[in-house]
Structure 1
Amino acid sequence: MKWNYTQPVDIRFGAGRVAEIGEVARERGLYRGLLVAGGHSVRSGLAQRVLDHGRGTIEAVFSEFSPNPDVTEVDACAELIRTQDVGFIVALGGGSALDLAKAASVIGAGSRESVGSITDYHGTGKPLPLTHLPLIAVPTTAGTGSEVTCVSVLTNRAAGVKAPIVSNGFYPELAIIDPELTYTVPPYVTACTGMDVLSQAIEGYWSVGHQPICDALAVHAARLVFEFLPKAFTTPDDREARERMCEASVTAGLAFTLPKTTSSHACSFPLTNRYGIAHGEACALTLDYFTRINAADPEGRVNALARSLGYRDADGLADAIADLRRTLGLRENIADLGLGESDIAALVRDSHHPNLDNNPVVITDDNLLALYRGLASGGAANADKHNEREERQ
């Protein structure tokens, strides 16, 4: 087996460490900073706290972007970077802020004439330039792991497309993971982002691009989620649970960056694009199904993962995922959407995302039809087991 491991991000983890941001910026000779922060961070005063911690190194704020940031918002941020001669970027928030900042750090590093628009690279396969502004990532949720990845997930609403872009230019220079910033995250967001962590870890483990270091990180992250996500959800002021979920998040980010995510993430994109289901909730909706399907992997990796996590086999792991989803009060199905056969056919078509190619078992249209018909009828659990048995025969 041949494999490579690269992780260029400097990681600083611990409660209160956001206060170091000005110090680390000065150490690196970074000035004229731009803070990319969502509207909630601005209204809550958190953005101002970060500006204060910057000790004069951060001079401007960009907050005009939406959840699931649009390509037009990336271009707007890039234009601000050019006009204000920004020297570095601080991304504060969940995946939306970090994804937008990553893309803007590349597009804004050159002229519009030389680099173009982010739409030139979104879903086109055209490689992005590697030149980028230094980026300091400060996550406020225990969820995406974006602070240590080379992935930016963007939406082109005009084209009806949500998709990731992968570029080595997206790696932040520094990630500051301060669990204190997650203490006020609402339970529903805690649940969704936590299940995204679990999906990243499990999918990174069973991905066809798996490798030993990422495997070890994935197992560690998944264990933490099963133990501490229910506590963080039911007791939001449990500081240990919050800290361990932040640990799970950054560890899962390291676990999936190189192997990449697979089937649950591929299916999450159309569920979010078409029906507005939150990303982590959309991943959670299909993760147990694909756990059963992927038990047919001839390498036996899914059953090995299940045993590493303390479950008897892949079925036991799938049951644990479904139980956790119920504990968190997340969607069990999409029966409330009233989908017809044409809607289901569209979901099947749109699920053929490149991430699907990373799955260890070939996912057919029949698999996807069974999944979506089960979810649409409210009977997904039985459909999962039926499909899993068929795959093993």
Structure 2
Amino acid sequence: MWNYSQPVNIRFGNGRIKELGMIAKELGKENGIIVCGHHFKDSALVKTIKEQSNGMINHVYGDVMPNPSVKNVMECSDTIKQFNCDFVIALGGGSSMDCAKAAATICLTDDDITTYHGTGLPLPKEHLPLIAVPTTSGTGSEVTCVSVLTNYETGYKGPINSDNFYPSIALIDPELTMTMSPRVTACVGIDTLSHALEGYWSKGHQPICDAFAIHAAKLVFNYLYTAYKDPENLEAREKMCEASLIAGLAFTLPKTAASHACSFPLTNLFDIPHGEACGITLDYFARINEKAESGRLTELARNVGFSSVDEMADQIYKLKKDINLTVDLTEFHLTEDQIHELVKLSRHPNLYNNPVEVTDEMLYDMYRSFAGLDVKEKTLLK
């Protein structure tokens, strides 16, 4: 038994950024705001978008942090209210989209976003329409109903899930990703692979999302290294944009699993970028999860071009090395207390979506091995 729904209108192709003003007109809106990070705030791209909008896009909130905060959401919401905006454009990577999604709802209330962050309370249903314009190829946030926010006062980082957060339109123009640095290309690319694989082996997997996952994973294995080594290769950029989008469709309903659960403390404690943090444990959990269902992950591995799950896991590790991503935690010289903290903080809800039950002992062994320590000399968990 399973359900499938995808309400986002997807428009994909080189040069389609020029359609933004027309899209706003189709939505019947006339006073838009761009939500982006500092590097886009005064950019030529934002200037061009405003000029081409025929007066429909005049405002910018450009202070989104790399890990967007609840404060960002409230500042953005206040700006939307100040200029009486009637639609929102999220321009950038997942951070801009996470902020814009939450602000487009909270701006129509007198609430603080913290009321809904980590509390499980449902958001009010009314929201402004959102146009998502990704400039990276990794998060898939342009087709998801998730906003991941950080409360720096409490130290809590976690997602809010709401149907409000589905963009009205996803406008994907691969040419906008050409300026991504190799480092960013690598981090968001491995995030795409994590979305695809975790969506496939998630407890909530279903056949439509499985097909998306296979398609996206195959593209990453075939094109990420090229996009990293040859940033101006338009074919590789297009294919990684396609992979990111399709992987977003692959995990939105099934949700991610253990690698994402472990990524949150790795990012919070050691400032490892989100995608890179997901990738650190991805090959480890591929091997672990092979045991979950007879032949299912073997079928995945074969569908994406490998003879076995082990061969696929080996390729994930090699790919991380080839694109200069972190493959272990030896550089952090972890103490026992830090390992215990990682184990405790990895007990995120995504962990329980993993097909194999992940025990504290398994996490402890994993983190000790990543730290270059002998797992046989472990002490009892606190």
What range describes the TM-score normalised by the shorter chain of this pair? Answer: over 0.9
TM-score, length-scaled by structure 2: 0.96
Q: Which amino acid aligns with 1:342?
A: D
Q: Distance in 1 between matches of 2:312 and 2:159?
A: 28
Does residue 1:320 correspond to 2:320, yes or no? no
In the alignment, which residue of structure 1 is the partner of 2:286? Answer: 291
TM-score, length-scaled by structure 1: 0.94
Q: Which amino acid aligns with 1:67?
A: P
Q: Distance in 1 between matches of 2:311 and 2:108?
A: 49
Q: Distance in 1 between matches of 2:41 and 2:62?
A: 8
Query: For 1:258-269, what aligned pairs fall within 5 Å after superposition?
Result: 258-269=253-264
Q: Does structure 2 retain, via aligned residues, the 8 Å contact 1:263–1:290? A: yes
Q: Does structure 1 retain, via aligned residues, the 8 Å contact 2:140–2:247? A: yes
In the alignment, which residue of structure 1 is the partner of 2:100? Answer: 101
Structure 1 window deviating more from structure 2 (32-41 vs 222-231): it is 32-41
Q: Does structure 2 retain, via aligned residues, the 8 Å contact 1:18–1:53? A: no
Q: Which amino acid aligns with 1:315?
A: D
CA shift, 1:70, in A, is 0.5
Query: For 1:28-47, what aligned pairs fall within 5 Å after superposition?
Result: 28-47=27-46
User: What SS is found at the alignment partner of 2:290?
Assistant: helix
Q: Does structure 2 retain, via aligned residues, the 8 Å contact 1:333–1:378? A: no
Does residue 1:173 correspond to 2:172, yes or no? no
Select the residue among 315, 325, 334 that pairs with 2:329: 334
CA shift, 1:299, in A, is 4.1
Cα deviation 1:71-128 (Å, max 9, x = unaligned): 0110111112122211000010001100000000110122x1xxx1111111111111
Q: Distance in 2 between matches of 1:170 and 1:159?
A: 24
Q: Which amino acid aligns with 2:142?
A: E
Task: Tell me the matched-pair count.
Answer: 375
Structure 1 window deviating more from structure 2 (203-212 vs 296-305): it is 296-305
Aligned residues: CA RMSD: 1.1
Query: For 1:347-358, what aligned pairs fall within 5 Å after superposition?
Result: 347-358=342-353
Does residue 1:16 correspond to 2:15, yes or no? yes
Q: Distance in 2 between matches of 1:338 and 1:372?
A: 11
Q: Distance in 1 between matches of 2:193 and 2:185?
A: 12
Query: For 1:351-366, what aligned pairs fall within 5 Å after superposition?
Result: 351-366=346-361
Structure 1 window deviating more from structure 2 (154-163 vs 170-179): it is 154-163
User: What SS is found at the alignment partner of 1:296?
Assistant: coil
Q: Does structure 1 retain, via aligned residues, the 8 Å contact 2:131–2:167? A: yes
Does residue 1:212 correspond to 2:211, yes or no? no
Q: Does structure 1 retain, via aligned residues, the 8 Å contact 2:35–2:64? A: no
Does residue 1:57 correspond to 2:56, yes or no? yes
CA shift, 1:43, in A, is 4.0
Q: Which amino acid aligns with 2:320?
A: R
CA shift, 1:13, in A, is 0.2
Select the residue among 358, 369, 381 that pairs with 1:374: 369
Q: Distance in 1 between matches of 2:373 and 2:130?
A: 44
Provide structure 2 residue ranges, at least 5 long, that are not aligned to the other structure.
Answer: 376-382
Q: Distance in 2 between matches of 1:230 and 1:33?
A: 37
Percent of pairs identical after alignment? 54
In the alignment, which residue of structure 2 is the partner of 1:388? Answer: none
Select the residue among 116, 122, 147 that pairs with 1:121: 116
Q: Distance in 2 between matches of 1:172 and 1:179?
A: 18
In the alignment, which residue of structure 1 is the partner of 2:80? Answer: 81
CA shift, 1:358, in A, is 0.9
Q: Does structure 1 retain, via aligned residues, the 8 Å contact 2:41–2:60? A: no
In the alignment, which residue of structure 2 is the partner of 1:137? Answer: 132
CA shift, 1:51, in A, is 1.5
